[in-house]
Amino acid sequence: MPEIDPGFMCHRLSINPSVKPVAPKKRKQGEEKRRAIKEEVGKLLAASFVREVQYPTWLANVVMVKKANDLNKACPKDPYPLPSIDRLVDGVSGYALLSFMDAYSGYNQIRMHPSDEENTTFITEEGAFCYKVMPFGLKNARATYQQLMDRVFQGSLGVDIEVYVDDMVVKSEKADEHCEVLERLRLNPEKCSFGVQAGKFLGFILTERGIEANPNNCQAIISMRSP
C-alpha cells in the first residue's frame, strides 16, 4: 500500500484541552541504548518519517519497551468500531485458497495532520524530533488504520478480502481469482503466506475444512498440572 494522500486519510489527535501538556527532561540512557536510539532515529529521518523540532509543547523520552504515555491519557478513545473477530474468522474458513498478509509499514503510510505532528515529539541525544507519519503506539492509531482499510477495500470486504486492522487475508476458490486480488496489493513478503490451504488468522487456524484448534493453545492446556 503506497503512501496515503492526506486528503483521503490522515491521523488527528483529539487532545482533551483540560489536560496540561507534559514535557519531561531528557532521561539518561546507557551507551548501548544510546546507540540503538541513534540508529533508529537515523532510519526514521532517512525514511522522512520524522523531522526535527525546536520548541515542542508535548515531549516524551524514548522508551525501549512498550509503555503507556501521558499523551495517550489526554486523548479520548476513538469510537470507530473494529470488526467482529468471530464474523471475520467464520467468513474466511472453508475456502480452498488463502493468503495471509501484513500491509507493508501500514501505519507509517498514514500522515499525521500537520497541526498534530509536534504533539508526538520525543527527545534524544541528537535533539527533539516529531513524527510526520502515524507511529505505532498512539491510542487511536488502530481505529484510524481500520477506517482506512474499510475505505480502501470498500466493495471487496466480505467478498474476497477480510481485514482486522493490519491483519489481512485473501480468500478464493480459484487460483486465477486469487492472483487477481493479490496483484492489487503492496505487501511485506516476510509477513505473508500466499496460496496456502491453512493458516493462522487472529489466533485461529483456518483451513478448507473450517476452523480448527490452535496447536499452541492446546499444548498450553495439555501441559497444565492436574489440580
The grid coordinates listed for 13 are 489527535
* pLDDT > 70 in the chain, percent: 85
Single pTM value for the model: 0.69
* Mean pLDDT, residues 99-103 taken together: 78
Residue 101: per-residue pLDDT: 80
In a domain, 225, yes or no: no
In a domain, 146, yes or no: yes
Name the β-bridge partners of 102.
Answer: 167
In a domain, 29, yes or no: yes
Residue 139: per-residue pLDDT: 86
- At residue 113, does pLDDT exceed 90? yes
Residue 227: per-residue pLDDT: 67
In a domain, 3, yes or no: no
* Mean pLDDT, residues 8-36 taken together: 88
Could you give the C-alpha distances from 133 to 1, 5, 20, 55, 137, in angstroms and in order?
A: 14, 12, 24, 19, 12
List, as one string, the DSSP characters of the chain.
Answer: -PPPPTTT-EE-----TTSPP--PPPPP--HHHHHHHHHHHHHHHHTTSEEEESS-SS-EE--SS----HHHHHSPPP-PPPPPHHHHHHHHTT-SEEEEEEBTT-GGGSEEPGGGGGGG-EEETTEEEEESBPPTT-TTHHHHHHHHHHHHTTTTBTTTEEEETTEEEEEESSHHHHHHHHTT--B-GGG-EEEESEEEETTEEEETTEEE--HHHHHHHHTSPP-
* Mean pLDDT, residues 100-127 taken together: 87
| Residues of the domain holding 198 | 10-219
In a domain, 88, yes or no: yes
In a domain, 160, yes or no: yes
Average pLDDT, the chain: 83
- At residue 132, does pLDDT exceed 90? yes
- At residue 115, does pLDDT exceed 60? yes
- At residue 128, does pLDDT exceed 90? yes
pLDDT digits (tens, 9 = 90+) for 33-74: 889 999 999 999 999 999 999 999 999 988 765 444 567 777
In a domain, 186, yes or no: yes
> Which residue's C-alpha cell is 509499514?
105
The total domain count for the chain is 1
Of 91, 80, 106, 105, the closest CA to residue 201 belongs to: 91
In a domain, 1, yes or no: no
pLDDT digits (tens, 9 = 90+) for 150-208: 988 888 888 889 888 888 888 888 888 888 888 877 666 666 777 667 777 777 777 77
Asked whether the beta carbons of 73 and 60 are under 8 A apart, the reply is no
Q: What is the CATH number of the domain that holds 88?
A: 3.30.70.270
